[in-house]
Amino acid sequence: MTTAPDKRVTVTGTIAHITYRNPDNHFTIARLRVEATRSRVSILGYLPHARQGESLRVTGYWEQHPRFGPQLKVEHYETLLPSTVDGIRRYLSAGVIPGIGPKTVERLVRHFGADLLDVIDRHPGRLMEVRRVGPETAERIARAWQAHHAARDLMAFLQSHDLNPAFCGSLLKTYGDEALSILTATPYRVVDDLPGRGFVIADTIARRRGLPADDPDRLRACLRHLLAEAAANGHVCLPEDHLLAAGQTRFGVDPADMAAVLVSLSQEGEIVSDLLESVPGTRQIYLPDLYAAEVGIAARLGAMQALAPPIVPYQAEEITATVVRRLAIKLSDDQLEVVQGVLNHRVAVIAGGPGTGKTTLIRSLCTILAAIGRRVCLAAPTGRAARRLSEVTRHPAATLHKLLGFNPVEGAFAKNQDDPIDADTFIVDEASMIDTPLAFHFLQAVPVTATLILVGDIFQLPPVGPGNVLRDVIAAGCAAVYQLTRIFRQRGESPIVLNAHRVLQGRMPERQMPERSELGAFHFIEEKRPEAVVSLVVELCAQRLPSRFGLDPIRDIQVLTPMHKGEIGTLNLNQALQRELNRRPDAPGAAFQSGDKVMHLRNNYAKGVFNGDIGMVAEVDSEKETLVVSYDSRRVTYAFDERDELTLAYAISVHKSQGSEYPAVVVPLLTQHYALLQRNLLYTAITRGREAVVIVGSRQALARAVENNRPRQRLSFLSARLASA
């Protein structure tokens, strides 16, 4: 086991235990019982549908993990089917076919003997020869067997084309058992179905099969890929010359050929080529939906602004009296000025960081508007932000998707210009998180006669999707903008708030570093070694923060990290924290076990859970192949094949934390995150903590994050369109 890292080895054995599996991409860490030496070794790699008890032949190279010792990193593998009756019994009993219990396996083995696997594969109808195996059971066995081996065949195909095995999970999720046939027959179909990754897969397969570089299908796929990739990176459009240059440098496409295809796609309506009169220069290339969204936002806000401002009969004295009477608070002169101003504009923006009184202003506006008979609608981009908004304002709030009646099956919104939302004043919190497509659909459903109040912090991270709507609205000067800068005394005394504003100003935080045993509300622990940072993060979550602040290690403490990969990425940190914080033997080999902290990854309206919701695994039932997650007071059941909607959430990305607050936050920062170390990322992470924020890492990484105030520019012309609307 001391093989040099660059020397490939092949090992044959049986999976004794699955330590970790990412259901999203099938990355697996397992213990393999090696036949030749009867020893157990750790293997890691992309092993779709691999099960405990399954025999594998794996090829890869050894890596030395600083904590876990030698690990075999798998590059290729094949499943070895058993040939003996006893081997077949063990193989099927390991759960290769979900829903088939030991008794059914035993009856099948007794009837068919060593021919059982061949019968399942070639003649599944014969399974009904066995007592208590009816048509439904036979079909379920055949379907599960087909899916199992479809994954194996697809993995072999990807390996033969030197493609990343991580693609296997996405392809199976998208195409199911048809994945391999689709790849071989119409590879460029993948470009549209797997934005951002599909072109690499399709192009590798097509070029290896002799498709010329200037093939029209390839050029069209290349253009769609570059525009989809740009959207994934936050851009609404790309300059034509930039697009042509990217095609040439990255994929060897002749610019003249690409330009000709651009003209064709534009004529066919698959792209939009636009030259703005107000912004002379290169033509901008849009995907049609993004172009319609950008133009639609500008038109709608322009139409709202063109109407006369609402007449509010309340003056300063009346506003003050109402707020004092109903909320028992007194507004400052600055706050009173903001409330008065907002009430007299069709479109207004309230922008400010933590502790600047945004919540007080929202509560005050809700109270005043209700008193004069306005129908107020409160909303936020995420479920977490909406629940928090409702809690602090004591008014009902909804997500934008729920407000719009989003149908996930059709991908459409029920509310629109023809059927608008029934309200006349809209207050949207965490507006910095709203991307261009969502803003468009929301504004289409807002009555043109309504009042719109956007509340947010433009210094946080930009939206995950394309565009940066709140920034563009402010930059265009088309709305009344109230920038809050004063930190109110009761919050301003918090070192978390003070240091957040220091970071915002480009100054290093006041690194309160008493003795290591004495954690302050804002604390920095210097450590440069990644493995030591992981150990410190685990120690802080498991012992020091709970002891110092009386916090629950799992529920109250959130680890926020800039990235997913690497030693201090979410994947590795979640494994380390799960091992320390939730040592339960009840679900060996499972990705999740009871007591785990998990996050839901996509909106699921049928279950009533949304992207970013965090809950606790309450039950894992291996026989029924279900798990139950508790979200506050709600319990939601997931089938095992729905586990890809969940991920461990002991550690999450800073992006995923937006719109949420936690009692305590731990932030690992190292220079290995160099490209991601930006001021807005650090600022966002710090502002998530209420009682305690602990940064663990190097001074160099912290300084880099503070100094780097050049976030990647997002290409959009919304601001120009708004200014000229």
Q: Find the mean pLDDT for residues 493-499.
A: 85
Separation of alpha carbons 679 and 685, rounded Å: 10
Provide the pLDDT for residue 681: 92
- pLDDT score of 287 more than 90: yes
The span from the CA of 359 to the CA of 370, in Å, is 17
Give the chain's length.
Answer: 725
pLDDT, position 587: 44
**Using one digit for the tens of pLDDT, what is the confidence trace for 405-430?**
988 777 789 999 999 999 999 999 99
Report the C-alpha gap between 240 and 283 in whole angstroms.
6
Joined together, the tokens standing for residue 300 give 């709608």
> How far apart (Å, rounded) are the C-alpha atoms in residues 670 and 572?
15
pLDDT more than 70, % of the chain: 93
Asked whether the beta carbons of 395 and 359 are under 8 A apart, the reply is no
Whether the pLDDT of residue 100 is over 80: the answer is no
What does the alpha-carbon distance between residue 158 and residue 165 come to, in Å, rounded to a whole number? 6
Residue-level pLDDT at 95: 64
Q: Are 523 and 512 in contact (CB under 8 A)?
A: yes
pLDDT confidence tier of residue 111, bands split at 50, 70 and 90: very high
Of 9-23, 50-64, 357-371, 500-514, highest mean pLDDT: 357-371
What is the DSSP track for 29-43?
Answer: EEEEEETTT--EEEE
The answer on pLDDT for 589 being more than 60 is no
289-328 pLDDT per residue, tens: 999 999 999 999 999 999 988 776 667 677 778 877 777 7
> What is the pLDDT of the chain when averaged over all its residues?
86
Q: What SS3 class is residue 54? A: coil
For 219-246, b/e burial (b = at least 16 CB within 10 A) is bbbbbbbbbbbbbeebbbbbebebbbeb
Of these ranges, 183-187, 340-344, 594-598, the one predicted with the greatest mean pLDDT is 594-598
Which of 192-201, 389-398, 483-492 is the most confident on average? 389-398
Question: Which ranges of 570-649 does DSSP label H, i.e. alpha helix?
Answer: 570-581
Q: Which of the four pLDDT bands, split at 50, 70 and 90, describes residue 585?
A: low
Compute the distance between CA of residue 374 and CA of residue 377 in angstroms, rounded to an integer. Answer: 10
Using 50, 70 and 90 to split pLDDT, how confident is the model at 79? confident
Position 2 pLDDT exceeds 60: no
How confident is the model at residue 3, as a pLDDT? 44
Which residues make beta-bridge pairs with 17? 31
Q: What is the pLDDT of residues 514-533, one digit of tens each?
A: 445 578 899 999 999 999 99
Q: Does residue 376 register a pLDDT over 70?
A: yes
Task: Give the Cα separation of 660 and 461 in Å (integer).
Answer: 13
Closest CA to 621 of 645, 601, 600, 637: 637
Asked whether the predicted pLDDT for residue 1 surpasses 50, the reply is no
Separation of alpha carbons 304 and 340, rounded Å: 19
Q: Largest Cα–Cα distance in the chain?
A: 90
At residue 512, the pLDDT reads 59
Query: Is pLDDT above 60 for 586?
Result: no
In the chain, the N- to C-terminal Cα span, in Å, equals: 69
Summarised one tens digit per residue, pLDDT across range 119-168 is 988 898 999 999 888 888 888 888 878 777 777 788 778 877 878 777 77
Q: Alpha-carbon Rg of the chain, whole angstroms?
A: 28
DSSP 3-state of 239: strand
Q: Does pTM top 0.85 for this prediction?
A: no
